[in-house]
Structure 1
Amino acid sequence: MGDSGQAGRAADSVTRARDIDRAQVSTVLDAVYAEGQLSAGEYHDRAARAGTARTLGELEQLTADLQSPAVLGGQGTVERKRFGRRNSGAYPARTRARDADRTRITAALDAARADGQLDADEHTAYTESASAARTLGELSTLVADLQQRPPAPVKPKARNTFRIATGAAVLLVGISAFVWTVRTEPAPAPAPAETVDYDAAPPLVIQTPTLTTLAGFTYFLDDYRVQFGDTVVDEAVLHADQASVVRRAPDNPSWTADYRYQGGFARASTQISTRERDAVDIDLAQVNTDALGAALTNAAAMTAVPDGAVTHFRIANDSWSDGPAITIFVGNEVDQSGHLVIALSGELLKTYPYEG
């Protein structure tokens, strides 16, 4: 029994995917993104991979750590369990959490605070952790020692969607052939099919915030963490609609590679360069985001640029800042400009106002 199950999984892993299979996975990804199981960067990456997947195994990997979306009736169109295997009813700890799961855990923490199970500091720390949790395992840890623990999400009973659909199609063809053989009267002419203009529906566009705002920087940082698994750069430059990054090369830390960001990361070139001797690792997670947001908002006034706006900002280890710092550049339509420098902590280091 176990050998046959393994053989089935192995066969599915190399079986070619159809367009409808890719569309089904894309539908699941749309739904789980709306539920908060995926960040924007993860959603865009998986959606792109779904569109180019060649096998059912590749598609299954894209949904293996996800809960079945509630909008689809709690039953995803791509199943992780195989026909004949027992369903334990519990998702693995690594399964992605939804916004609804975070809300459910936060409510349990509020109740625990109200009845004295948690003190104020514990409640604050646990609530913040719940808001940032990515998996069901992280959430369950937060309530593991409470007397009243909310029930864990239950996954739907597994069905072998692909084989069931194939069997139904074969049965339908057989029945149709039998009916066509025994009928003597001519079949009425079918009504003309209604034409559907698929181009009439507007595409779903997920807007990327302007990167020269606090919301844009936070969005960029989240995508960066997902892409590289850390938040370390040698240099990052953010413009309104695109950014560039220099970081250690993936195969050799003595070299650097350049990346371009515009809704996703891509190598700016195939070349790598020797890392400069005075280069330092700059952790973007150490940026005081509240201070950065205030500086971006007030930069035009602080630099006295008439009708000015932030054109871009640079996070690097510059000679004028004595260490890692953020330089914010301001300009206007007649090329009047100024800039200011703040530390990662938010401290104002230097202002270079427009002196026209």
Structure 2
Amino acid sequence: MPKKPDQLRARDIDRADVCAVLDAALTDGQLAADEHATRSARAMRAETFAALDRLVEDLQLTDEFAAATPALGIDRTPRRWLIPVLAILTAGVVGAVAGLIGRAAADEALPDLTTADGLAYFLAEYRAEFGTTILDEATVYPGYVSFEREGVSGKQDSYVYRGDFDTSGTPTARPSGTPALDLAAIDLARFAPLVAGAPQTTKVPHGRVTYLAIGFAPGAKADAEPVITVYVRNDDGESGRLELALDGEPRAIRPPTS
């Protein structure tokens, strides 16, 4: 017998969508930090649509992006949660942060993967593919992600993600003690306004984020802390970068160079 919509099993991408709604509610003051953390943790453990709906049903969203109450009919297509575009003010910089909107079909365009919603999308896809959020390092471009992760028999595998996960080249030897990082440790709520405002923060006129480097400094020890380096560049060749810890704490700001 077909299941009612609220009994349908949730996917990782559905959980990520709800986490994005919760992030929006934290940003506009509907949720306090502790309640946001509690609901986000429950969202990532939720097994059904009903469990996810309960986490967002009391939140205010615009009519266009409202999280509608599930219908009771058995023919309903599983819905997705959508959130409005947010304007976030941080450190004197206004950053426009697009909400996480999942693809309805595999051939639709990916979100900009260098944004917070894009990283959340990639994180959900990565978890669904590998059953973990651990990798060695990643370089994130607007349209794709290149990354390395531990393989079998002491090897390191390279991949490129463009909506699908494709291996890149042949596995190489993975040095003993190579540190790995957990993508789930990235504080996307703090990362969102920082990356959106990176061109202004780095003082690159008319700059744009060209890519992110997520990983460790060369030769880093196992107990080293990974960083996210946000690279900014403009059409005149001026560039700068912003270095962040995974929790969003700024570590360094590099001024423009040509």
User: How many residues align structurally?
Assistant: 190
1: CA distance between counterparts of 2:35 and 2:43? 12
User: Does the 8 A contact of 1:97 with 1:133 survive in 2?
Assistant: no
Match 1:233 to one of 105, 112, 135: 135
Are 1:96 and 2:12 an aligned pair? no
User: Any unmatched runs of 5+ in structure 2?
Assistant: 19-33, 55-71, 76-104
User: Does the 8 A contact of 2:106 with 2:163 survive in 1?
Assistant: no
1:272 equivalent in structure 2: 171
Identity %: 28
User: Does the 8 A contact of 2:4 with 2:73 survive in 1?
Assistant: no
2: CA distance between counterparts of 1:226 and 1:318? 28
Q: What secondary structure is seen at the aligned counterpart in 2 of 1:217?
A: helix
2: CA distance between counterparts of 1:304 and 1:246? 31
Q: 1:269-320 CA distances to partner (integer Å, 9 max, x unpaired)?
A: 2x11111345201001111112221221121112111110000001111149
2: CA distance between counterparts of 1:123 and 1:340? 30
2:225 equivalent in structure 1: 323
2:248 equivalent in structure 1: 346
2: CA distance between counterparts of 1:123 and 1:328? 29
User: Does the 8 A contact of 1:279 with 1:317 survive in 2?
Assistant: no
Deviation at 1:135, TM superposition (A): 2.3
Normalising by structure 1, we get a TM-score of 0.46
Query: Within 5 Å, which residues of 2 pair with 1:289-300?
Result: 289-300=188-199
1:162 equivalent in structure 2: none
User: Aligned AA for 2:136?
Assistant: D
2: CA distance between counterparts of 1:229 and 1:222? 10
Are 1:258 and 2:158 an aligned pair? yes
Higher helix share: 1
Deviation at 1:255, TM superposition (A): 1.4
Match 1:223 to one of 113, 118, 125: 125
Match 2:185 to one of 283, 286, 298: 286
Structure 1 stretches of 4+ with a deviation exceeding 3 A read 66-70, 122-134, 136-139, 153-156, 203-207, 319-322
2: CA distance between counterparts of 1:130 and 1:338? 38
Deviation at 1:258, TM superposition (A): 0.2
2: CA distance between counterparts of 1:343 and 1:355? 23
1:63 equivalent in structure 2: none
Change (3 A) 1:137 1:329: closer
Normalising by structure 2, we get a TM-score of 0.61
User: Does the 8 A contact of 1:67 with 1:96 survive in 2?
Assistant: no
Question: Over aligned residue pairs, what C-alpha RMSD do you find?
Answer: 3.9
User: Aligned AA for 2:163?
Assistant: G
1: CA distance between counterparts of 2:36 and 2:205? 43
2: CA distance between counterparts of 1:244 and 1:123? 34
2: CA distance between counterparts of 1:313 and 1:304? 17
User: Aligned AA for 2:211?
Assistant: H
Change (3 A) 1:352 1:67: farther
Higher strand share: 2
1:135 equivalent in structure 2: 47
Deviation at 1:67, TM superposition (A): 5.6
1: CA distance between counterparts of 2:190 and 2:233? 21
2:60 equivalent in structure 1: none
Change (3 A) 1:320 1:298: farther
2:89 equivalent in structure 1: none
User: Does the 8 A contact of 2:148 with 2:156 survive in 1?
Assistant: yes
Change (3 A) 1:127 1:298: closer
Deviation at 1:207, TM superposition (A): 3.2
Deviation at 1:266, TM superposition (A): 1.2
1: CA distance between counterparts of 2:190 and 2:116? 9
Change (3 A) 1:320 1:277: closer
User: Does the 8 A contact of 1:210 with 1:240 survive in 2?
Assistant: yes
